């Protein structure tokens, strides 16, 4: 990654660049971070800055109801969480990926759905905009599809730094993904799986 140096026109401070890159990578990571309890919001550069909470829009509870809510979150490295079918695949990095049957409880889905409403997930574009000044190679691609009632959405992103205008939305998305992983990773079925061998850099 190219270091842009100190702040200048259209530039972020050096610490900010590192923090946002770490946040983007941490939301994608399924190797080094997979066994942590950090919620994927604390990074080696310090905690990720949190945006102001959005006010709840009552109409969203009607447009994106809890009934029929579910999602699929997957990466091209092997991790997959599918609440529709009740399957979870753990990316074991250097070991074969392992898939288990894991159905989230209604209470767990309620918690995740409420966060969907809180972060306004269904307002997101189909692709997370990236800052073209920075790139990560190799890049991890993450795909999300979600449904609430009859409303559906998809979202795709790659490792890198989110565009400046999308930083708050990205931070909220990271919060939501952290919640999902906290719920899934805390389940006894998941805890019983082997630990990943190796890590992604």
Question: What pLDDT, in 10s, does the model give residues 157-201?
Answer: 988 888 999 999 999 999 999 999 999 999 999 999 999 888 776
Give residue-wise pLDDT tens across range 129-147: 988 888 777 788 999 999 9
* More confident of the two residues 53 and 66: 66
Q: Which ranges in 91-140 belong to alpha helices (H)? A: 106-119
Compute the distance between CA of residue 82 and CA of residue 85 in angstroms, rounded to an integer: 6
Nearest to 74 by CA among 84, 89, 96: 89
Give residue 49's pLDDT: 66
CATH T-level topology, domain 14-191? Mago nashi protein (3.30.1560)
pLDDT of 4 above 70: no
Say what the pLDDT of residue 81 is. 98
Residue with tokens 């790659």: 158
Which tokens go with 17? Answer: 């660049």
Of 162 and 41, more confident: 162
pLDDT tens-digit series, residues 15-34: 344 444 444 444 444 333 33
Which range has the worst mean pLDDT, 36-45, 104-113, 136-145, 173-182? 36-45
154 HSE (CA, 13 A, CB side): 4
Q: Could you tell me the pLDDT band of residue 14, with boundaries at 50, 70 and 90?
A: very low
Contact 28, 178 (CB under 8 A): no
Residue 124, pLDDT above cutoff 50:
yes
Is it the case that residue 7 has pLDDT exceeding 70? Answer: no
Rg (CA), the chain: 17
Look at 13 and 156; give whichever has higher pLDDT. 156
The pLDDT assigned to 173 comes to: 95
How do beta strands 98-101 and 46-47 pair? unpaired
Q: What are phi and psi of 149, to 5 degrees?
A: 65, -125
Spatial separation of the C-alpha atoms in residues 200 and 30, rounded to whole Å: 8
- Mean pLDDT in the chain? 80
């Amino acid at each position: 990654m190219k270091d842009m140096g100190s702040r200048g026109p259209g530039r972020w401070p050096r610490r900010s660049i590192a923090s946002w890159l770490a946040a983007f990578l941490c939301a994608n990571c399924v190797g080094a971070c997979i066994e942590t309890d950090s919620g994927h919001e604390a990074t080696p550069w310090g905690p990720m800055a949190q945006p102001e909470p959005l006010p709840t829009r009552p109409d969203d509870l009607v447009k994106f109801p809890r009934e029929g809510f579910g999602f699929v979150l997957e990466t091209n490295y092997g991790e997959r969480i599918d609440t529709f079918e009740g399957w979870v695949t753990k990316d074991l990095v250097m070991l074969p990926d392992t898939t288990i049957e894991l159905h989230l409880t209604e209470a767990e889905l309620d918690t995740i759905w409420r966060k969907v409403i809180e972060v306004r997930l269904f307002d997101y574009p189909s692709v997370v905009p990236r800052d073209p000044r920075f790139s990560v190679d190799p890049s991890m691609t993450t795909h999300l599809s979600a449904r609430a009632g009859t409303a559906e959405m998809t979202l795709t992103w790659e490792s890198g730094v989110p565009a400046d205008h999308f930083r708050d939305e990205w931070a909220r998305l990271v919060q939501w993904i952290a919640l999902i992983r906290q719920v899934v990773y805390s389940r006894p079925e998941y805890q019983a799986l082997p630990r990943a061998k190796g890590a992604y850099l």
